[in-house]
Amino acid sequence: MLGDRIKSYEENKSIDIKTMKYPTPAQYKGEFEWLKEVDSLALANAQMNLDKAYKNFFRDKSVGFPKFKKKTNTNNYTTNNQKGTIYIENNHIKVPSGKYFISILVETEIVELAKTDKKIGVDLGIKEFAITSDGVFFSNAKHLKKSEKS
């Protein structure tokens, strides 16, 4: 996509970029068979990112012309959740170990809690994780020992 943009920019520098028509991601699938394996929304997001980079360049030249990314750069994947295709089960997203990292952005409504004048002290300890001034004990979960066992 970027190669085609660079080529058309070099050939038509006098034409307004807003009037130029560029190939859609689907049109690249014939030339590059491996693109058929990728989620179509990921390709659309890549094209949107390229459009944004181009607009930023023409808006402010100090941003710099869009560049090809090296294969050694961080691998990332962007998609849209269409009709519940991404599932969160028991507050976990299961991913193949060591292959992918996931970052999720969630919009939620913040519920304001009722204000009280109560104050509490918390003592962090070694034997017990925490003890409040009300006398409530929170046990130490010992995550390290549990992870070493499995």
- Model pLDDT for residues 43-74, shown as the tens digit of each residue: 888 888 888 887 887 777 787 777 777 766 66
The distance between the two most distant Cα atoms of the chain, rounded to a whole number of Å, is: 76
Average pLDDT over residues 77-93: 65
Backbone angles phi, psi at 97, to 5 degrees: -60, 125
Taking the mean position of all CA atoms in its chain, how far away is CA 84? 17
Which tokens is 76 given? 């990332």
Confidence of residue 33 (pLDDT cuts 50, 70, 90): confident
- pLDDT surpassing 80 at residue 100: no
Q: Which residues on adjacent β-strands are paired with residue 92?
A: 89
Q: Among the residues of the chain, which ranges form H helices?
A: 2-11, 25-28, 40-59, 143-149
* 40 within 8 A of 25, measured Cβ to Cβ: yes
Instruction: Give the H/E segment covering residue 128.
Output: strand 128-132
